[in-house]
A = this chain, B = another copy of it.
């Protein structure tokens, strides 16, 4: 389907259910897609960090896109991460996921290399020139170890290189500069500029990846959110979005706080025994398994699985949130 401009609402980064042997569990993926679509979400984002894209082979990545697109059946836009180290490799990922049906691609700055803002800009320009679908920038310094400067995002937005931003930087002030900037461009860049093209920029999509700050991101003017926790509780985030649209800030905040309490599950995994990815993705998958959505809570190698005790504590979070 055509990518909306802008895309608004709740766009979960879809977990990738795996079999005990580490293969994509297609039946569970279909079930998870139905769970999310049934929860009222407004789009799906596959092959992001929450999808364990870092752990999936190219063949598995392709299968995830194909099967998600098939199951969605055009009801919602499907965004796909095209995650690889630098431009030439990202271009191959873009080709692969768009051939599999993605409606837009989400692309990070180069990583592993010692890069520079001018190289990051060139990277996005080359990717956008080659992509058959809109390109969203994925700002995720925890993974790529550089931050996308707000000014660069606005510049690439104004040029039409970028169709949107998925912000997982945690930098809410920078996020606000983009949100405000695309609305008032080019006035945000300088207090007394000449001319400008504010109209086109209103079509730029700004999404937050901060699960605990969706209400405030929306209040700032963000178009929507990409919360990993929405795998577990899509209804909650959809409710939050609707409360915001209805102008009920107090109830939106209360819903957000309920979701923040639920989000505590990502800290259950013992940090002395596992990394943050294992803990967070393990928690989401354990919760999906406990809720009966997916058949197996396994995460990909070399992540460390949650212990039985940790899974039991995930269950308590679900129970406290009324999700069991």
Contacts and interface: CB of A to CB of B under 8 A. Distances in A.
Interface of A: 22, 49, 54-58, 60, 83, 85-89, 92, 110-116, 118-120, 122-123, 126, 142-145, 170-173, 176-177, 180, 187-188, 190-192, 210-213, 215-216, 219-220, 249, 253, 257, 260-261, 264, 271-278, 300-304, 316-317, 319-321
Contacts of A301: 86-88, 122-123, 126
Contacts of A88: 22, 55-57, 60, 300-301
Contact of A275 (B92, B114, B144, B173): B114
Contacts of A253: 219-220
B119 A302 contact: yes
Contacts of A219: 215-216, 219, 249, 253
A142 B114 contact: yes
Contact of A300 (B86, B92, B171, B300): B86
- Counting chain B CB atoms within 10 Å of each CB, the highest count among A87, A89, A143, A274 belongs to A89
Contact of A274 (B119, B191, B213, B274): B119
B55 A89 contact: yes
Contacts of A316: 191-192
Nearest to A210: B173
A171 to B, nearest CB: 6
Contacts of A260: 176-177, 180
Contacts of A191: 261, 264, 316-317, 319-321
B118 A304 contact: yes
Nearest to A190: B264
A145 B180 CA distance: 30
Contacts of A176: 212-213, 260
Interchain residue pairs A-B with the least CB separation, the first 9 = A114-B276, A116-B275, A191-B320, A216-B216, A122-B302, A173-B212, A123-B302, A54-B85, A87-B301
> Which of A119, A143, A144, A274 lies at the interface centre, i.e. has the most chain B CB atoms within 10 A of its CB?
A119
A115 B279 CA distance: 10
Contacts of A213: 172-173, 176, 216
B173 A55 contact: no
A228 to B, nearest CB: 13
Of listed A49, A219, A271, A272, residue having the most chain B CB within 10 A: A219
Contact of A87 (B55, B211, B220, B277): B55
A58 B213 CA distance: 39
A240 B7 CA distance: 30
Given A173-B213, A188-B261, A213-B172, A112 B83 contact: yes
17 contacts: A22-B88, A49-B113, A86-B302, A87-B301, A113-B143, A114-B276, A115-B275, A116-B304, A118-B273, A119-B302, A123-B301, A170-B170, A172-B172, A173-B210, A177-B260, A191-B317, A219-B253
